[in-house]
Amino acid sequence: MSRPPLSNVAFTATTSKLDKDLQDDKERYTTLHRDKKRDMACHLIVVIRLQGIAMITVYGIDYNLNAKKAQMSDVLHNCMTTVLGLPEDKRAHRFVPLDKTNFYYPGGRSEKYTVIEISMISGRTEETKKKLIKQIFTAFERNLAINPVDVEITIFEQPSHWLGIPRDHRR
């Protein structure tokens, strides 16, 4: 199997809306390790493909969450594809409806209080993550009538080598 040229990697990163820091890493690596361009091209393609993966878990009171989870999934997926450039077919959302007696939330929140945990591969800029959070707050208020004070978002990042997925998802 031949490795693609490094120029293809830059093109792939640009067209899939990945952060500039991946491009910067490629440029730094090319400058410092000119003799290893082929290896870097292969490595970057793996990172780029894995960047298109994010898993979301949503917690809320059962009767509120169940009533809106399909619409909520659409709203979240739209935010993820718009801000992060995730592929349309890579929706991985888990909804965990909890009985009100099992879901304690901070004062000043309503029964619409929703916790969103996003697990994704590290490598995106702080600016991109802030943009995603802001987009989710705005979309929840506009499309779901859930006030931003009732939404808690946590982003968990891990390096790509911590992710175990079937091979066909990396193509």
pLDDT at position 11, please? 31
**Could you tell me which CATH class the domain 54-160 is placed in?**
alpha beta
pLDDT at position 32, please? 44
Domain extents in the chain: 6-51, 54-160
Q: Report whether 14 contacts 7 (CB < 8 A).
A: no
Cα separation, 73 vs 151, in Å, equals: 14
Sheet containing 151-158, strands listed edge to edge, beginning at the edge strand earlier in sequence? 93-98, 54-61, 114-121, 151-158
Q: Report whether 53 contacts 169 (CB < 8 A).
A: yes
Walk along the chain (171 residues) in steps of 10 and give the mean pLDDT of each run. Answer: 40 39 45 46 42 86 97 97 90 96 95 96 92 98 97 92 62 45
Quick check: pTM over 0.85?
Answer: no
pLDDT at position 53, please? 74
- Of 16, 55, 12, give the one whose Cα is nearest residue 163: 55
